[in-house]
Amino acid sequence: MVFSSIPFLYYFLPIVLLSYFVVPKKFKNSILLISSLFFYFYGEPKFILVLLFSCVFSYLFGKWIDKCQVPWKKKSLLVLSLCINFGILFYFKYYNFFVSNINHLFPDTLPFLSIVMPIGISFFTFQSASYLIDIYRKEVKPATSIFTYSTYLSLFPQLIAGPIVRYQTISKELETRESKTSDISNEIRRFVLGLSKKVMIADMLGIFSKELASLSSNTVIGFWLKAISDSLQLYFDFSGYSDMAIGLGLIFGFHFLENFNYPFIANSITDFWRRWHISLSSWFRDYIYIPLGGNRVSKFRHYRNILIVWMTTGLWHGASWNFVLWGLYFAFFLILEKKVLLKFLKNHQVFSHAYTIFLVLISFVIFNQTDLSLLGETLKGMFGFSKIAFCNKETLFYLKDSIILLGIALLFSTPILRRGKDYLTKWKRGELLVGTLEVILTLLLLLLSTAFLIDESFQPFLYFRF
């Protein structure tokens, strides 16, 4: 079951909301736990055991780590729990990738296995690991019961595609919380906005991208249009999901942290990663980069730390060498900025923004192409090193057909509309106008999104594969 589906919007969610707000406070977590497990079971019946195992084992290890008073035993328990956690992730996500590389060096050494990766395993594995590490660091107390912890780990708004919600962020709200009427109305709008970003922009960009990929003859402009379309599609797909998750969370009284902050207005790669998938980049910062020494070490070790973090960031996204290359690509420019470019970029805003967008577009070309030989052909085509036309009538036809879609996507990837809203709400009449328009637009967007879903023009969330 996915958020952008008729069964979720008009069957599952209304039943869950009605049940949640009808029952007494002491049963609200039970409703969330049962509905979350059903939500996962509906989409991944055979992998519900993986999720349940993760809930039970992490809860028990959290208790043991907290109670242990002998430092070396406490650390051993943490290491063992993390090995089990990431061992499960390795088996489902990386085993065959590991085997293929070993067999490439030593033919027929290891057998391939028929493995299907459980949806969301990267997200709930990282949440489980952060819970155990935070207990070890004494930054959070263990959950009061296995049911409370299971509610946290399986919470359906963020279960299968994030954002990565740390236990310490919502630990108090798991015990006691309130759902305010003002929050609910605002977050219904947030949810609907996320839904429309996914269904009406991301999925339409996906169709445009497929049209460009099927051109009878490639062109330089065609390659660049596809790079732009793919980048915007990924942004609206994932930020749309995050909007829906944050909106749903607040309806139930949980305050998830923001996951995107208009990354396409960034003026450096460093700034871009402060704005893109914030929950993931902060996770790697707090649990890998800083424990390795961060920037409080020699230059060599500092750069080594960046490389380690970004190789693992790349691998987190998928078991393929293009993701490793993608991570190293960002590591190179982050190191270059820290060593040379940041001061220059701060003093040249127009150049810095163009530089950032250019590098980000190239990065997502790497990200989207698992075949490295085809990646080379794509990059050659983009820079005119292939014997192809700069543009042709077919490319122009598809561009004209989707120019409004691209314009809308570019507009909504910036904070222009939000700033306009903030400006208008400074006055009482403007606030009334904005409030009225928001209600009308929310209803209109929900109706249009539903129409798109009934038309079956939607696609699965891209981040489900991670």
Please report the pLDDT score of residue 182 as a whole number.
Answer: 64
Residue 243 has pLDDT above 80, yes or no: yes
* Dihedral of the alpha carbons of 381, 384, 385, 386, in degrees to the nearest 10: 50
Separation of alpha carbons 29 and 208, rounded Å: 42
Any domain includes 295: yes
Q: Does residue 130 share a domain with residue 86?
A: yes
Kindly state the tokens that stand for 453. 């879903």
Q: Could you give the percent of the chain with pLDDT greater than 70? A: 97
Bond into 163 cis (ω within 30): yes
- Mean pLDDT value across residues 220-228: 95
- Other C-beta atoms closer than 10 Å to the C-beta of 207 total 15
Instruction: Compute the chain's Rg from CA coordinates.
Output: 23
Residues noted as catalytic: 317
d(CA 430, CA 25): 38
Total of domains in the chain: 2
Domain that holds residue 139: 6-177
Q: Would you place residue 460 in the very low, low, confident or very high pLDDT band (cuts 50, 70, 90)? A: low
pLDDT computed for residue 422 by the predictor: 84
Measured CA to CA, the distance from residue 199 to residue 116 in angstroms comes to: 26
Q: How many helices (H) and strands (E) does the chain have?
A: 21, 0
Say yes or no: 262 and 390 in one domain. yes
Q: Indicate if 187 and 173 belong to the same structural domain.
A: no
Q: How many CB atoms lie within 10 A of CB 6?
A: 13
Average pLDDT over residues 228-252: 94
> Per-residue pLDDT for 390 more than 70?
yes
Written as six digits, the tokens of 123 are 């997200």
Q: Is 458 helix (H, G, I), strand (E, B) or coil?
A: coil
138 burial class (0-12, 13-18, 19+ CB within 10 angstroms)? exposed
Whether 71 and 91 map to the same domain: the answer is: yes
Q: Are both 109 and 50 inside the same structural domain?
A: yes
| Mean pLDDT calculated for residue range 411-432 | 87
Determine contact, residues 386/380, Cβ cutoff 8 Å. yes
Find the range with the poorest average confidence among 114-128, 197-211, 423-437, 448-462: 448-462
| Separation between Cα atoms, residue 308 and residue 384, nearest integer Å | 34
| Structure confidence by residue, pLDDT tens digits, 24-58 | 998 999 999 999 999 999 888 889 999 999 999 99
Q: Are residues 258 and 400 in the same domain?
A: yes
Specify the 3-state DSSP secondary structure of 463: helix
- Tell me: do 221 and 159 sit in the same domain: no
Q: Who contacts 352 (Cβ-Cβ below 8 Å, separation ≥6)? A: 267, 268, 345, 346
Q: Convert the pLDDT of each residue in 308-361 to its tens digit.
A: 999 999 999 989 999 999 999 999 999 999 988 888 998 899 999 999 999 999
Q: Is residue 389 one of the residues assigned to a domain?
A: yes
Quick one: 425 and 365 in the same domain?
yes
In angstroms, rounded to a whole number, what is the distance separating the alpha carbons of residues 463 and 460?
9
Go through 340-372 and write b for each residue having 16 or more CB atoms within 10 A of its CB, e for each that does not.
ebbeebeeeeeebbebbbeebbbbbbbbbbeee
Q: Angle, nearest 10°, between helix axes 220-251 and 393-412? A: 30
Residue 108: band (very low, low, confident or very high) from pLDDT cuts 50, 70, 90: confident
The share of the chain scoring above pLDDT 90, in percent, equals 72
42, 2 Cβ separation under 8 angstroms: no
Is residue 40 in a domain?
yes
Last residue of a domain, one of 130, 154, 177: 177
Confidence of residue 82 (pLDDT cuts 50, 70, 90): very high
Round to whole Å and give the CA distance between 66 and 136: 7
* 1 within a domain of the structure (yes/no): no
Tokens standing for residue 194: 């996320």
Query: Does residue 196 share a domain with residue 172?
Result: no
pLDDT of residue 457: 54
Q: Is the residue at 279 inside a domain? A: yes
The span from the CA of 384 to the CA of 340, in Å, is: 29
**Can you list the alpha helix ranges (DSSP code H) found in 318-427?**
321-336, 342-346, 349-368, 372-382, 393-412, 416-424
Which 3 state secondary structure label does DSSP give 256?
coil
In a domain, 247, yes or no: yes
Angle between helices 48-67 and 121-136 (to 10 degrees): 10
- More confident site: 4 or 90: 90
- Quick one: pLDDT at residue 181? 65
- pLDDT of 160 reads 83
Q: Please indicate, yes or no, if residue 167 is contained in any of the structural domains.
A: yes
Average predicted confidence (pLDDT) for the chain = 91
Nearest to 445 by CA among 201, 254, 280, 181: 201
CB-based contacts of 332: which residues, under 8 Å, 6+ apart?
A: none
Continuous segment of H or E residues that includes residue 41? helix 28-43
- Indicate if 201 and 240 belong to the same structural domain: yes
Structural domain contains residue 43: yes
Is the pLDDT at 403 greater than 80? The verdict is yes
Listed residues 177, 196, 219: the one ending a domain:
177
Domain termination residue (choose one: 128, 161, 177): 177
Same domain, 191 and 105: no
> 419 exposed, middle or buried (CB, 10 Å; 0-12, 13-18, 19+)?
exposed
Indicate whether 110 and 202 sit together in one domain: no
CA 84 to chain centre: 24
Cβ atoms of 452 and 203 closer than 8 Å = yes
Q: How far apart are CA 190 and CA 277, in angstroms?
A: 18
Residue 396 structure tokens = 């122009």
What three-state secondary structure class fits 15?
Answer: helix
- Biggest alpha carbon–alpha carbon distance for the chain: 73
Q: How confident is the model at residue 428 (pLDDT cuts 50, 70, 90)?
A: confident
Q: How far apart (Å, rounded) are the C-alpha atoms in residues 366 and 378?
A: 9
d(CA 363, CA 463): 16
Could you tell me the pTM of the whole model? 0.93
- What type of residue is 279? S
Please say whether the dihedral angle defined by the alpha carbons of residues 450, 44, 370 and 324, taken in this order, is positive or negative.
positive
